[in-house]
Amino acid sequence: MTEFNYESLFAPRAPISRRGENRNAKYDFAVAYPDPDTLPLAGLADAVRVALEREGRDLAYYPVTAGYPPLRELVADKLRRDRAMDVSVDDIILTSGSGEAINMLIQSFTEPGDVLLTEEYVYLGTMRQMRLWGAEVVSVKCDDQGIIPDALAATLQAQAAAGKRVKFLYTIPTFQNPLGWTMTLERRQQVLEICQSSGVPVLEDDCYVDLRFEGDDVTSISSLDDTGQVLYVGSMSKIIAPGMRMGYLVAPESVRERASSFKSGGVNQFAALAIEEYLRNQMYEHIDDENQALRVKRDAMLAALGEHFGNRATWSRPEGGLYVWLTMPEGTDLAGFQEQSFQEGVGYYNGAMFSPEGNGANMARLCFGHPTAETVSAGIAELASIFERNGIFAR
């Protein structure tokens, strides 16, 4: 029997996704996972039992589209307390990870040819979705304090002069993925002012904000705005686990109404019950434990880079999050060498993958979240010796 052929039926927009099984190198700094040893499994097991005894029979119903109200209440409390945001339970939609929230917004705003602005290097999942929906993704130059205001103003002007519509600026202002920096308060204010005067909304992706193990919090861009021009997404992936698939969107009603139409129903109620019960009792204690572990790993990575890379590269020194950004001398081809390095035992993602314009082949993102501190040290030593024996340092 010949198999049915779907080829002529696919929507032209539907790309082929070859994201199947995860491949892991022996030392893997490419993946952006948390450490399985720091997942709160016992606490979640207790929480799920308590929550099911109390409300398990409600799993017989489909959840409301905005998601389990007590968890939205908990998120609203947290955002008021930690991010100085003036939000209530009704401003929040729970989503299947913050990725879904970002996708819902991209779909709500983008027509093919529209411009969406991002930082100079940007989270791959967002860039992929922007392109899927036909956006032209344009980056704005950054330094280690965040988006450079003059560059933002110039980019907006250039897009207007070219007759392009900029639908929003997407920013990850805290522990940026992949660059690792946190945008300063002054920059946040300047970026917001420029966007306000140009009528361009800001989509603030704050998914790493709780992973601070050093330095002081910087308030959310959302808290600096009282016009509803900042859309905000957050995630439980970094404070509980990506496998829970829970995130949230905070937006004005007009945006929530549109964005909700791209959602196929409320989030997983089983996960929502467990997360709410767990976080209500143990959120900050767990975040502290997690951050202590992350700090040790960050320190291990910085020390190993100092020892094995010395003055042959530069790298960022993040105060939180999961990433160190490595910069090798101009002309070094970490993009071309990535697969070879993986085959020889060390995984990284090269900078060009994160750049809308394909820049940064001499740069790489190194994630220290998943391996133990000992493995981080050994892996960086191994990366240096792979570079050494393949002549990467010499270029």
Stretch that binds ligand PLP, among 93-101, 219-227, 268-276, 384-392 (CB under 6 A): 93-101
Radius of gyration of the chain measured on its C-alpha atoms: 21
Could you say which of 91, 205, 319, 344 contacts ligand PLP (CB under 6 A)? 205
Pick the closer one to ligand PLP by CB: 117 or 172: 172
Pick the closer one to ligand PLP by CB: 159 or 174: 174
**Structural tokens at position 344:** 């020889």
Give yes or no for residue 237 binding ligand PLP (CB under 6 A): yes
Give yes or no for residue 235 binding ligand PLP (CB under 6 A): yes
Pick the closer one to ligand PLP by CB: 177 or 362: 177
Give yes or no for residue 99 binding ligand PLP (CB under 6 A): yes
- Number of amino acids touching ligand PLP (CB under 6 A): 14
Pick the closer one to ligand PLP by CB: 136 or 206: 206
Pick the closer one to ligand PLP by CB: 153 or 172: 172
- Least Cα distance to 222 among 81, 83, 117, 92 occurs for 83
Question: What CA–CA distance (Å, rounded) separates 178 from 365?
Answer: 6
Q: What is the DSSP letter of 359?
A: -
Task: Quote the longest CA-to-CA distance of the chain.
Answer: 66
Residue 254 burial class via C-beta count within 10 angstroms: exposed 0-12, middle 13-18, buried 19 and up = exposed
Instruction: Give the side-chain half-sphere CA count within 13 A for 67.
Output: 33
Closest approach of ligand PLP to the CB of residue 95, in Å: 8
- Least Cα distance to 277 among 78, 55, 58 occurs for 55
Closest approach of ligand PLP to the CB of residue 367, in Å: 10
Give yes or no for residue 125 binding ligand PLP (CB under 6 A): yes
Pick the closer one to ligand PLP by CB: 326 or 386: 326
Helices marked H in 168-322: 185-198, 253-260, 269-308
Closest approach of ligand PLP to the CB of residue 170, in Å: 9
Give yes or no for residue 177 binding ligand PLP (CB under 6 A): yes
Pick the closer one to ligand PLP by CB: 39 or 378: 39
Give yes or no for residue 32 binding ligand PLP (CB under 6 A): yes
Pick the closer one to ligand PLP by CB: 41 or 160: 41
Pick the closer one to ligand PLP by CB: 172 or 195: 172
Closest approach of ligand PLP to the CB of residue 385, in Å: 29
CB neighbours of 221 closer than 8 A, spacing ≥ 6?
A: 171, 173, 188, 191, 192, 202, 204, 230
Please identify the residue of the shown chain whose CB is closest to the bound ligand PLP. Answer: 97
Question: What CA–CA distance (Å, rounded) separates 195 from 22?
Answer: 38
CB neighbours of 170 closer than 8 A, spacing ≥ 6?
A: 102, 116, 117, 118, 119, 122, 126, 130, 203, 205
Question: What CA–CA distance (Å, rounded) separates 85 from 78?
Answer: 9
Question: What CA–CA distance (Å, rounded) separates 277 from 273?
Answer: 6
Give yes or no for residue 103 binding ligand PLP (CB under 6 A): no
In this structure, the strands spanning 146-147 and 142-143 are antiparallel
Give yes or no for residue 97 binding ligand PLP (CB under 6 A): yes
Give yes or no for residue 294 binding ligand PLP (CB under 6 A): no
Stretch that binds ligand PLP, among 92-100, 186-194, 310-318, 357-365 (CB under 6 A): 92-100
**3-state DSSP call for residue 95?**
strand
In this structure, the strands spanning 363-367 and 349-350 are antiparallel
Give yes or no for residue 98 binding ligand PLP (CB under 6 A): yes
Give yes or no for residue 182 binding ligand PLP (CB under 6 A): no
Question: Where does this chain bind ligand PLP (CB under 6 A)?
Answer: 32, 97-99, 123, 125, 172, 177, 205, 207, 235, 237, 242, 247
